[in-house]
Amino acid sequence: MSARRQLLRSSTQLSAALRTSAPKVAARTTPLLVRSSANAARAFSTTSSNGFYALRALQPATLKDVRLYSSKCTYLYYLSYPSHTVINMPALSPTMTQGNIGAWSKKVGDSIAPGDVLVEIETDKAQMDFEFQEEGFIAKILTSPNAKEVAVGQPIAILVDDADDVAAFEDFSVEDAGAAPKEEAAAPAEEKKEESSASKADAPKAEAKSGSSDDRVKASPIAQKIANERKIDLSQVKGSGPGGRIVKEDVENYKPAAAAASKPAAAAKPAAANAPTTAAGPAFTDVPTTNMRRVIASRLLESKTTMPHYYLTSEINMEKINKLREVLNSSANNEYKLSVNDFIIKASGLALKKVPEVNASWQGDFIRQYHNSDISVAVSTPAGLITPIVGSADTKGLSAISKQVKELAGRARENKLQPHEYQGGSFSISNLGMFGIQHFQAIMQPGQSAILAIGSTIKRVVPDETKESGFSAQAVMEVTLSADHRVIDGAVGAQWLQAFKTYMENPLKMLL
């Protein structure tokens, strides 16, 4: 009880601690102890949960300045508003840290039920509908349509159970929902960081000044002065004076090449872009990057700088597949229309089963081998590249693969894919053959260990013993496997490519 009495301080003493928010304030639990005064009421709960509950039984005039304390004194909530739920920016994908707000499907005062679309959100991969899973009434919208770079966890709206409570939130702000304390908490951390940096910067000065000790840096006063002006760490400078003492010339001739080389390449700032101008004004247009484009840039840079790529190229004879495809499509009765890509996906899945070492990824302390041949198919959209997944491709028929790819690609271009439809996958395919590209090398996705680049099919004169001339013009296609050498040795990559080639040049084997 003594701890509780200590909490009954004056309102002025408590004002500095107010505005700490709760994710959800309910109105169904009665506090065991309530004390009220002329201007305020304080309520204590003996519940051990981190959540805290208010009394709706209190009169509105009394509830205005209610302050609630948990029995463990963990949280302090300021309840100037009726019972409500703070709706935060959701993480709609595992890699999402922020997103852009699109159009709101609900407005203040509207009711919402589980499954209703609340707002459109642009994630790092797609434009998605945020389907809310609770019921109530929208009391306040805290972020405007088209808001950019809204952090995951930031309050975006307020939900109440009773429509009569909506009017009370007319002046509600993000700070009332708890965003302000987080920002304020970050300030002391920054101050500590600055103090730490300052103390580190002063360390070389202190060492240089106390040059009388043999275990410290010895430097002349002029050398110390120049080092301080140029922010040079004297411990990194080799002295040429008596007893290894650092003199003026040593500091002036010091080149911090080693220090610069140790800095991560990612920390380097991009070079200033050329900005040509004409008499009519700037001769360029700056296009803002989307979340999706920034994530693509980050992941591909990560792949090229952390995953040791190597490349294997093979030439595939497409004569048999072209003939089989023509026969199957002619008898499809408009039920399906197979593409070359459908055969490639099927052959890739079967080759992964035959050489499972390629169906794997690097996990640092171990290599993870996947049991399913989940093929990520690169699809170009106006917003950028996305890779919907054909799961267990080795077990599906060609017509099923064809229908699934068309359906996924269509929704990908409309930004309507769900996260599970494009996140994951164990192997990727990128096909630029339809653009007339004969050969290219693709960049692997982080989390996978291989990607197959598909070129166009062209006619080429090749040796043919069945012809009198010994040659014939046949359809051939070049494919290039990019592989992670940490996971897939060159010989293993070659075995996979050989298995893929066998299925492609003998397509009836895919049907067995």
- CA 385, CA 121: separation in Å to the nearest integer? 18
Rg (CA), the chain: 33
- CA 511, CA 498: separation in Å to the nearest integer? 18
Plot region of 333 (φ>0 → left; ψ -120 to 50 → alpha; else → beta): left
- CA 449, CA 484: separation in Å to the nearest integer? 5
Catalytic residue chosen out of the listed positions 116, 162, 233, 485: 485
Catalytic residue chosen out of the listed positions 164, 202, 464, 489: 489
Contact 137, 110 (CB under 8 A): yes
Q: How far apart are the first and last CA of the chain?
A: 78
- Paired residues of 3 in beta bridges: none
Residue 204 is inside which H or E element, if any?
helix 179-209
- CA 492, CA 485: separation in Å to the nearest integer? 10
User: At 343, phi and psi to the nearest 5?
Assistant: -65, -40
User: What sign does the CA torsion over 420, 421, 427, 428 have?
Assistant: negative
- Please confirm, yes or no, whether 485 is among the known catalytic residues: yes
- E strands within 80-126? 85-88, 98-104, 111-112, 117-122
Cβ-count burial 288-325 (b if 16+ within 10 Å, e if not): eebbbeebbeebeeebeeebebeebeeebbbeebbebb
- Please confirm, yes or no, whether 176 is among the known catalytic residues: no
Catalytic site residues? 485, 489
